[in-house]
Structure 1
Amino acid sequence: MRLRKAPYTEFKRVSTSLDDYASVDSSPLFLVNNIPMMDIELKENDLISFMNPMCPQCRSKNVVRNGTCLRTLENGTVFRVQRYICRDCRYSFVARPPNYGYGKHYPEDVREKGVKTRVKTSLRKAADLFRIIGNVIISHETIRKYVPSLPDMVMDSSGYFVYDEQYAHIDGMEKYRALLKDSKNGNFVEEILDDLKEDTLAGFLIRSLSRFAIPDHIFITTDGYHYESALEKVSSSLNIRIMRQRCLFHIEKDLAHRIADAKMEGHLDMAKRLVKYMFFQNRTNLKKLGKNRDAVLKLTEGMSEREIVEIMLDRINSLYGGDSIMASFLKWVKKHRKEVFLYLENPDVEKTSDKAEQHFSVQSWLFKHRFKTEEGLLRTSYWYHRYLSTGS
């Protein structure tokens, strides 16, 4: 498609607002999908028309003019486009600018802005913003179509995952937005679940893991305490070995809640701090030990993380083993030792499900309350996290 009889400045005024026309060699030749090559001219009265119109439907040249229509670019430039109708098949078409093609009414940057706006507000309000700010007439259904469908492909996997869920309102009902995310490369699968029963969770994990190219053994970090039997079903169904790491943050937080419910904060406050330092050995948590800081530092100086864990467990037991809450906690840790301290065996395992929490924290309120349909939430969430979010 060649643009003729138009000054270069006029051509530039139209074409620079469009982003995906392709030139061939040094000639202004433009290709639009598989549509027949047709010469375009931009006349002095800002009318864009074909010099040799041909019906893109039946390839007939028995074509006549059928009025004009106005088009407004994103920068506000208004021009007229010639309409045509085929006398043979009655197909109607227009002489579009170089990068518009057939069935493509807006440039890619407009599409992307449409999806960004979709995250921030409703479909109808997004369409209104285009009309008010950019003088672009666009329907809310067009914006809906701009959100890409979820890709149906097998994703790469490191074998290290985090899992979490949060509630979401879908069709006026409270449901659960479940997430399985590769903690290394950021690939993820989301679904909306009706409940968190064992069979429901197992089904989600089986479907999600089937979307990944996984090795014969994987590692999953989860919160809570109700995934064991579900993971056993997944392991048996997929014939893989699943190693589970319990989220240390949730273990520590659960202990704090139990202490608060028993109104024992004053007596067991230092026990909480010792547990937190055992799990997260950093300067901040060391300082929070107060007067016990120097004693703990002297005991653990030069020790490895594993050795410090053993020392802290021994000290917590000797100091607070007589308390029923702490005794129950230590008994539970001993029973589930492999799942609590799996990260000591493999440093690539995530201690917490924090990466899943961060995923949910992006536009959290909007994703919980704005979207009324399952498809709308999942499609927009995938597009946003994959192409707009700066997080992994």
Structure 2
Amino acid sequence: MTLDNPVRSVRPPAAKRPTGSDFSRLSKRITEAGLMRRRPGYYVLRVACVAALYVTGWTLFVLVGDSWWTLAVAFLLAVVFGQVALVSHDVAHRQVFRLRRPSATFGRLAGNLGIGMGYEWWQDKHTKHHANPNHEDLDPDVDPDLFVWSREQARVAKGLPRLIGRSQAFLFFPMLLLEGFNLHVAGVRSLTDRSLKHRALESVTLLGHVAVYLTAVFLVLPVGPAVAFIAVHQCLFGLYLGSVFAPNHKGMPMLRGDDRPDFLRRQVLTSRNVRGGWFTNLALGGLNYQIEHHLFPSMPSPNLRKAQPIVERYCRELGIDYVKTSLVASYRQTLRSLHDAGAPIREAARNGR
């Protein structure tokens, strides 16, 4: 659906209107609450825990060796890879390091060498997403390369999106099983782009991961179990990562053309939060506070929980819709939106077009 009237707040008369933008006043409250301060102790502990799990997972892989029990290790490593990706996400947003150079160095070590994700390619794509979330023309995350995200996209869809579109709500989670492979392929493909920053370094680290990963797997396991391990590991990694990011924007209002509300409304109205306790925070890496993350992407993830009531209260004051729901409900909304977006394709099929 298209956000026809993105500005949903009742604004005070000009003579009584506070100075500064709506977002600047919220930003002042957040800053005064001390929520933009770095959390080095938290990230030292988090990185140490994830690194320990990473080493443990690969140690278990070697110790278990030629056994179908390595598929259980594949499950563990899929979760660990997802956690490495979430740490890399925080690093890319400079939540950990203030400067670009240490952020990029850590990102390449964790993202490229650690899990083979393509740090520079992903950061460029993700930056564009943050600038214009759910905008059909500007957000690469809603490009109709596989799924259609709106009825407008469905009406002009061709090829694979048109084939998948009629049943995409049913195929969404099964297709996420391929997301891990897709991330690797997209990262390697980006190396052919001459405009990619630090292309030589990206190539060495990214292809280095591929070489070490495949060598380790095929040295420890015979061909059959090795292929099974790779399939289970990468499929579950993709499913986990896709399930983390899917609740954030999918099923929320879509923007098109000149639909570009101010920064505050652009971020809040296209995002949703996911309710939950410590386990939800851990599994989703703090991205369950998606509204706060999009408003303040450099805010350390443990501070998002503290920022949430401040942001929600401020949005209520302005009359801006602030959406939060359970994880299951967010998936239900995502699937319902996908089914609705594919309606023109199903209708065309019924009419023989």
TM over 0.5: no
TM-score by length of 2: 0.25
The structure carrying a bigger strand percent of its residues is 1
Larger RCO: 1 or 2 (CA < 8 Å, sep 6+): 2
Larger radius of gyration: 1
